[in-house]
């Protein structure tokens, strides 16, 4: 048995537990060792029974005098009751719905019990304590110490994980090898890996558990920094086509626009054009709030690429958004004799410069031929662009919208038939906090569009309390009568089923208003005289397109939707963004919703509905009201909620422990500097074989591509 041993080969883990462990991403013993606790219960306060205090957590040790389980038919539950005594006294113990305990705990057993003492009309008792058999010399696992509590899944408890982990750590600790360079361990006074693993899972004290967490936080951040910096170095060695700035063409394009570019747009466009001049691949992220004009900057880059005889691939996350980009890019470049294609899963279109920019339906075969022969200047589409059948003649630029973190893999697929690597421009409307920019996005150069086009009115943002609903609905109706339109956002789609069968997290979700329920309520009870539409991600593409077309063409007054409208939907006539369960969304996401209104000259409103009394909720929503700066809000979101909830970060497979450290800018900078210095001294990591091997495994685990 070794660290790579599959989890199912361990004694006491059958097919059922194997399936549950894989849900947590645990496939090998090594995965299990690095499945860290997300918090600790302090059961280290071992006291005599006579010193137990009401409502305080403690641990006691004594002998079981009696134990039995009864069924209470009225409340339909099992009650397991026991009496335990030590030299100083005795106390009653009650466990709820744990009848199996009478099989493991018997009269006369010596046990440790950790929990809280409760008082009721029947006296003082320990309620649902954690138990562990043993005497005062026992090496405790579940009681009498700091107890790790792990991320769990249904049927897989922290107790079970501790039970499996302890003997494995004991038997295999000698196989755990140090991967961090000795110089870093000394420089930052880091705990050695073997000791750190014991202290993170079975800490001797709060201080040692923190020191172990600090070591692994540093380690995980360091690996990510090393990964992205090596990626950046690797890319700098690759060759790309140099595309010098076609200044006259770009000036003509800017003059053709019906609006003035902002200073931020000009600066970002210039940074991108300068990157395209270099003979190595551009790897740039264009950040800008919703409505800040990223698409026109991307169009400038595409036009410059086309005028050198190279193609541009423009990939968007949804068919609706791809079609919108197709229409917008076609309109922006209508005077520049450009062939533009649309390739999605179900619909292909072509706008030909020979047919005076006429848009025609085209067969997939013909479209693919035009792409391969370099007749297609810009191809816009969804993930359909990376199908094997799509082969570009001369691809010079890849533009990714809202999927920047997948750029490495997709760029590789797009240029599979080419010798040169195309330039990459990613775009996002999600403002990225500085610590994330230095870690997860560390291989990308950043361009910021941090100002909106002039003439936009400030969006009025308000928190709506339950008692203000009627008044708010009247206000919405007034807006519709002025020929304006309304978005209503809900966090769920399906109606909830039987709540008793759901987990605590699922019950919490079940209480949130479902889109279907909200649609029914608004269309039948609140606004029966208005035209109301419904939109969510589970609908067929054609159906979604028809719904959005009706909304854009003002046939629908109110659109009830999930967060599917968060990315890219543009309806200038919409003036009200009403968000149900606003506490369910992050600040960055709420800010993006808000950016869907106020896109014309009309006064617009963002109405946040919440019945949550939580202080943190009101703290976050207050921040949204007081600021329109998406970058400041992203930092605030990171500070209040933590990076684990920041949009997208869960997808990357990064451990929670490391994500929580992204709040610490000084640690992020230290790890970045350390990674930089090691790569300067040893770019191929030949002097650090353990580190190189670890990084290779790390690359597979952390799917940053």
Provide the pLDDT confidence category of residue 512 given band limits of 50, 70 and 90: very low
Please, what is the Cα angle at 177 between 181 and 20, to 5 degrees? 120
Residue 685 has phi, psi (to 5 degrees) of: 60, 35
Same domain (yes/no): 466, 409:
no
Same domain (yes/no): 474, 618:
yes
Same domain (yes/no): 305, 363:
yes
What phi-psi label fits residue 155: left (phi over 0), alpha (psi between -120 and 50 degrees) or beta? left
Query: What's the pLDDT tens digit per position in 419-453?
Result: 778 999 989 887 777 777 777 777 788 898 888 77
Q: What is the mean pLDDT of residues 89-98?
A: 94
Beta 605-609 vs 460-464: how paired, if at all?
Answer: parallel
Q: Is residue 272 part of a domain?
A: yes
Q: Is residue 60 part of a domain?
A: yes
Which CATH number goes with the domain that contains 130?
Answer: 2.40.50.140
Q: What is the mean pLDDT of residues 536-559?
A: 85
Residue by residue, DSSP assigns 360-405 as: EE--HHHHHHHHHTT--SEEEESGGGGSTT---SSEEEEEEES-GG
> What is the distance between the alpha carbons of residues 336 and 40, in angstroms, rounded to a whole number?
63
Distance of CA 261 to the CA centre of its chain: 32
> What is the distance between the alpha carbons of residues 45 and 58, in angstroms, rounded to a whole number?
5
Provide the pLDDT confidence category of residue 506 given band limits of 50, 70 and 90: very low
Q: Is residue 326 part of a domain?
A: yes
Least Cα distance to 375 among 348, 340, 342 occurs for 340
Which CATH number goes with the domain that contains 377?
Answer: 3.40.50.300
Of residues 505 and 304, more confidently modeled: 304
Query: What's the pLDDT tens digit per position in 627-668?
Result: 887 777 877 777 766 554 444 444 344 555 556 667 778 888
The answer to whether residue 616 scores a pLDDT higher than 90 is no
Q: Is residue 370 part of a domain?
A: yes
> What is the distance between the alpha carbons of residues 202 and 283, in angstroms, rounded to a whole number?
43
Query: What's the pLDDT tens digit per position in 202-225?
Result: 999 999 999 999 999 899 889 888
Q: Compute the residue count for the chain.
A: 705
Same domain (yes/no): 333, 390:
yes
Same domain (yes/no): 508, 622:
yes
Same domain (yes/no): 422, 508:
no
- 411 contacts: CB under 8 Å, gap ≥ 6: 398, 421, 422, 424
Same domain (yes/no): 77, 127:
yes
Beta 123-133 vs 89-96: how paired, if at all?
Answer: parallel
Q: What is the mean pLDDT of residues 563-580?
A: 80
Same domain (yes/no): 66, 122:
yes
DSSP 8-class letter at 524: I
Q: Is residue 112 part of a domain?
A: yes
Least Cα distance to 617 among 641, 652, 591 occurs for 641
Q: Which of 627, 648, 671 is the last residue of a domain?
A: 627
Q: What is the predicted pLDDT for the residue at 510?
A: 39
Q: Which domain holds residue 610?
A: 460-627
Q: What is the predicted pLDDT for the residue at 507?
A: 35
Same domain (yes/no): 80, 132:
yes
Same domain (yes/no): 476, 359:
no
Same domain (yes/no): 512, 378:
no
Q: Is residue 309 part of a domain?
A: yes
Query: What's the pLDDT tens digit per position in 21-76?
Result: 888 888 899 889 988 998 898 898 899 999 999 999 999 999 999 999 999 877 78
3-state SS of 78-98 is EEEEEEEEECCEEEEEEEECC
Stretch among 221-235, 458-472, 639-653, 686-700 having the lowest mean pLDDT: 639-653
> What is the distance between the alpha carbons of residues 565 and 321, in angstroms, rounded to a whole number?
10
Q: Is residue 679 part of a domain?
A: no
Query: What's the pLDDT tens digit per position in 225-260?
Result: 898 898 888 888 888 999 999 999 999 999 999 889
Q: Which of 627, 654, 672 is the last residue of a domain?
A: 627
Stretch among 5-14, 404-413, 546-555, 644-653 having the lowest mean pLDDT: 644-653
Q: Is residue 320 part of a domain?
A: yes
Q: Which of 83, 115, 144 is the last residue of a domain?
A: 144
What phi-psi label fits residue 66: left (phi over 0), alpha (psi between -120 and 50 degrees) or beta? beta
Q: Is 475 helix (H, G, I), strand (E, B) or coil?
A: helix
The answer to whether residue 481 scores a pLDDT higher than 90 is yes
Q: Domain count for the chain, please give it.
A: 3
> What is the distance between the alpha carbons of residues 210 and 525, in angstroms, rounded to a whole number?
55
Same domain (yes/no): 382, 465:
no
Provide the pLDDT confidence category of residue 346 given band limits of 50, 70 and 90: low
């Amino acid at each position: 048995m070794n660290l790579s041993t599959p989890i199912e080969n361990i004694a006491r883990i059958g097919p059922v537990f194997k399936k549950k462990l894989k849900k947590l991403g645990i496939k090998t013993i090594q995965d299990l060792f690095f499945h860290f606790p997300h918090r600790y219960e302090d059961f280290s306060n071992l006291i005599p029974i006579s010193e137990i205090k009401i409502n305080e957590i403690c641990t006691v040790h004594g002998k079981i005098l009696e134990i039995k389980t009864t069924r209470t038919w009225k409340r339909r539950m099992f009650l397991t009751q026991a009496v335990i005594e030590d030299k100083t006294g005795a106390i009653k113990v009650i466990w709820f719905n744990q009848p199996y305990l009478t099989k493991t705990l018997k009269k006369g057993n010596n046990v440790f019990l950790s929990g809280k003492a409760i008082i009721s009309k029947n006296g003082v008792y320990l309620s649902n304590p954690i138990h562990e058999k043993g005497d005062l010399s026992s090496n405790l696992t579940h009681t009498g110490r700091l107890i790790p509590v792990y991320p769990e899944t249904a049927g897989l408890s922290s107790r079970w994980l501790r039970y499996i982990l302890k003997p494995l750590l004991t038997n295999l600790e000698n196989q755990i090898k140090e991967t961090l360079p000795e110089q870093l361990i000394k420089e930052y006074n880091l705990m050695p890996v073997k000791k750190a693993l014991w202290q993170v899972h079975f800490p001797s004290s709060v201080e040692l558990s923190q020191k172990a967490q600090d070591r692994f936080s540093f380690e995980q951040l360091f690996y990510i920094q090393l990964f992205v910096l090596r990626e950046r170095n690797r890319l700098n060695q690759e060759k790309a086509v140099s595309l010098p700035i076609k200044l006259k063409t770009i000036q003509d394009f800017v003059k053709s626009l019906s609006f003035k570019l902002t200073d931020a747009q000009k600066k970002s466009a210039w940074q991108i054009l300068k990157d395209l001049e270099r003979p190595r691949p551009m790897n740039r992220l264009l950040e800008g709030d919703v409505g800040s004009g990223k698409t026109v900057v991307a169009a400038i880059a595409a036009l410059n690429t086309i005028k050198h005889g190279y193609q541009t691939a423009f990939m968007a996350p949804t068919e609706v958004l791809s079609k919108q980009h197709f229409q917008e890019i076609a309109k922006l470049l209508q005077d520049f004799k450009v062939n533009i294609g649309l390739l999605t899963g179900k619909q292909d279109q072509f706008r030909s410069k020979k047919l005076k920019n006429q848009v025609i339906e085209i067969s997939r075969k013909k479209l693919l031929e035009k792409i391969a022969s370099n007749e297609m200047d810009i191809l816009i589409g969804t993930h359909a662009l990376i199908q094997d059948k799509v082969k570009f003649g001369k691809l010079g630029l890849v533009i990714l919208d809202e999927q920047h973190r997948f750029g490495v893999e997709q760029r590789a697929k797009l240029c599979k038939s080419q010798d040169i690597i195309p330039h990459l421009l990613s775009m996002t409307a999600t403002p990225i906090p500085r610590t994330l920019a230095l870690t997860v996005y560390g291989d990308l150069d950043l361009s910021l569009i941090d100002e909106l086009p002039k003439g936009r009115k400030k969006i009025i943002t308000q928190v709506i309390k339950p008692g203000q609903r009627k008044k708010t609905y009247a206000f919405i109706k007034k807006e519709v009568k002025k020929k304006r339109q309304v978005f209503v956002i809900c966090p769920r789609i399906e109606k909830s089923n039987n709540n008793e069968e759901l987990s605590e997290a699922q019950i919490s979700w079940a209480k949130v208003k479902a889109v279907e329920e909200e649609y029914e309520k608004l269309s039948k009870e609140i606004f029966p005289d208005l035209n109301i539409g419904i939109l969510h991600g589970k609908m067929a593409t054609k159906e979604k397109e028809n719904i959005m077309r009706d909304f854009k063409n003002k046939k629908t007054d109110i659109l009830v939707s999930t967060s599917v409208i968060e990315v890219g939907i543009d309806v200038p006539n919409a003036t009200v963004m009403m968000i149900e369960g606003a506490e369910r969304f992050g600040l960055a996401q709420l800010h993006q919703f808000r950016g869907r209104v106020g896109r014309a000259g009309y006064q617009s409103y963002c109405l946040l509905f919440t019945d949550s009394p939580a202080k943190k909720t009101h703290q976050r929503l207050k921040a949204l009201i007081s600021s329109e700066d998406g970058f400041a809000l992203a930092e605030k979101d990171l500070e209040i909620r933590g990076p684990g909830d920041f949009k997208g970060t869960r997808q990357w497979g990064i451990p929670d422990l490391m994500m929580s450290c992204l709040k610490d800018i000084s640690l992020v900078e230290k790890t970045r500097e350390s990674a930089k210095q090691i790569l300067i001294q040893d770019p191929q990591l030949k002097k650090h074989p353990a580190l190189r091997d670890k990084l290779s495994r790390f690359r597979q685990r952390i799917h940053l591509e």
